[in-house]
A = this chain, B = another copy of it.
Amino acid sequence: MSHSETANTAANKPKKARILIIEDNPDHWTIIQNAISESFDSPVAVRVSSAEEALEYLQDAQDMGTPLPQVILLDLYLPARHQGWQVLGTIKSQPAPVSLIPVVVLSHSTDPADIIESYDRGASSYLTKPSDLKAWQICFQTLSEYWWDAVRLPESRSFQ
């Protein structure tokens, strides 16, 4: 199956994908930036490096009326997992539209307890960080094809 076939399945492909990445590792952010630039058309990818910065960014976007991210990628260990869970819980307990934004955990951890706890706290899905550059590219290609080509994201005119 070619990528173009997949892209044709959805009529609502956004011209600009808006992604918030909560990631405290600068090397991983460099890799993620590169993978995003290869998998998205004109992406707006914003990185914050802590739970506090993430919540501040979302609050500022609402206060200023700027578009919210369509999907949030969350590194769980920031550097401890309780910080990742705190930001996940806070996002999911906000009023809509913030609470509706799908949060995809992207962590190095393969601990089943981390995976279960993330779903329990409202993560839309849990992915483990890839091990090499090629796998990072495939990972973001899959994210792009799923969330932007196939899925209908929870955005309405009122908060686009």
Contacts and interface: CB of A to CB of B under 8 A. Distances in A.
Copies in the complex: 2
Given A1-B141, A6-B138, 18 more contacts: A1-B138, A5-B138, A6-B141, A6-B142, A9-B142, A10-B128, A100-B116, A100-B120, A102-B125, A112-B157, A115-B152, A118-B154, A124-B124, A125-B151, A127-B151, A128-B152, A142-B146, A145-B146
A99 interface: yes
A153 to B, nearest CB: 8
Contacts of A10: 128
B125 A147 contact: yes
A126 interface: yes
Given A6-B142, A138-B5, A99 B120 contact: yes
Contacts of A102: 119, 124-125
- List the 5 closest pairs (A to B, CB-CB), nearest first: A119-B154, A146-B146, A100-B119, A112-B156, A142-B150
